[in-house]
Structure 1
Amino acid sequence: MTTKQHLYSMCDEYVESRIQRILKSLKDLEEDMENEGKNSAGDKYETGREMMSEEWNKLSNQLKEFKQQKDTLKLAKSRQDAQHVQLGSLVKTSASNYFVSIPAGKLELDNEIYYAVGANSPVARLLMGKLEGEEFEFNNIRNNILTVN
């Protein structure tokens, strides 16, 4: 398995673990809502229901966001390697290594650090379209792009 394939796998595990955690929270909340209905009445019941409803909406939005990240990851994986930085590129620079895919954060593989960043992140926007050997400035530091694949 290539480095890029490993990083895809790590990002997929990241997203899937978040989705599963949210689904469990939604299931637990649904059970709580059922129990609240059996045990409560009056204003206290309505307040509790409203708080649970807000939590449900928050979790539902998070679930939607992580499902979109999963779709973005699939799109990134389907991209053909290119010489310029694009969604799905693995970019090694003089300062850091970036995997332009989803915002999964710091990933460690074979004693090297990679930062999985979304295509709309500040560093990814600076990198997009650039080629090996080009320079860019991030956080007031000049960087060279060493490899793009």
Structure 2
Amino acid sequence: MTDTRISKAQMLHACLIKQQLIISDFEHEVKNLRAEITRHDDIASQDHRGTPERNEMLVRMEHELMFLKNELMMLEKIDEDKQSDEVELGAVVVTDQRIFFISTSVDFAEVNGQSFFGISTKAPIYHLMKGKKEGDCFEFSGVRYRILEVY
């Protein structure tokens, strides 16, 4: 396309950093919640325990943390040197509307002043564009996208 093309390596690096930061934040929150539950259990009387909701929240947060770590592992498996000619995991998809990196759900990221969206292979939009090539079109949420380049 042009010399302003975002390198897949830079996109992958940005996604990895973003995912690691999200995981770090979650780990911090889980640690704090565990400490709060432990403190509460230590001082609460038998007839006044308010921790079932907190325990449920902790379980949900630990489940989300596990999901985030799995997403990080998926990111780490992407080959930044692999060239794609169709929409698949690891592909960069440049459309007339925006740029997508098929990897994990990263709402919005930026590299060298150019923004892109990380899209999970589980996302509904991915299923509409999967296997498509340069010149193909797809529609999502009332927006029509024309694929200008896949790499």
Bin for the TM-score computed over the shorter chain: 0.7 to 0.9
Q: Percent identity?
A: 22
Structure 2: distance between partners of 1:20 and 1:39: 29
Q: Deviations over 1:17-76 (max 9, x none)?
A: 12111211222122222222321212212xx22122112101111111101111221233
- Which residue among 92, 95, 103 is the counterpart of 2:94? 92
Q: Cα offset for 1:78?
A: 6.5
Normalized per residue, the structure richer in helix is: 1
Structure 1: which amino acid aligns with 2:29?
S
Name the stretch that deviates more: 31-40 or 81-90.
31-40
Q: Cα offset for 1:13?
A: 1.5
| Match status 1:26 vs 2:33 | no
* Structure 1 unmatched runs, 5+: none
* Structure 2 unmatched runs, 5+: 1-5
Residue in 1 that maps onto 2:109: 107
Structure 1: distance between partners of 2:31 and 2:141: 43
Structure 1: distance between partners of 2:51 and 2:144: 53
Q: Deviations over 1:85-106 (max 9, x none)?
A: 1101001011111111111111
Count of residues in correspondence between the two structures: 146
Residue in 2 that maps onto 1:137: 139
Structure 2: which amino acid aligns with 1:35?
R
RMSD: 1.9
> Residues 23, 140 of structure 1: CA spacing in aligned structure 2 closer, same or farther, 3 A cutoff?
closer
Residue in 2 that maps onto 1:10: 14
Structure 1: which amino acid aligns with 2:83?
D
Structure 2: distance between partners of 1:33 and 1:142: 49
- TM norm structure 1: 0.86
Structure 1 residue matching 2:88: 3-state secondary structure: coil
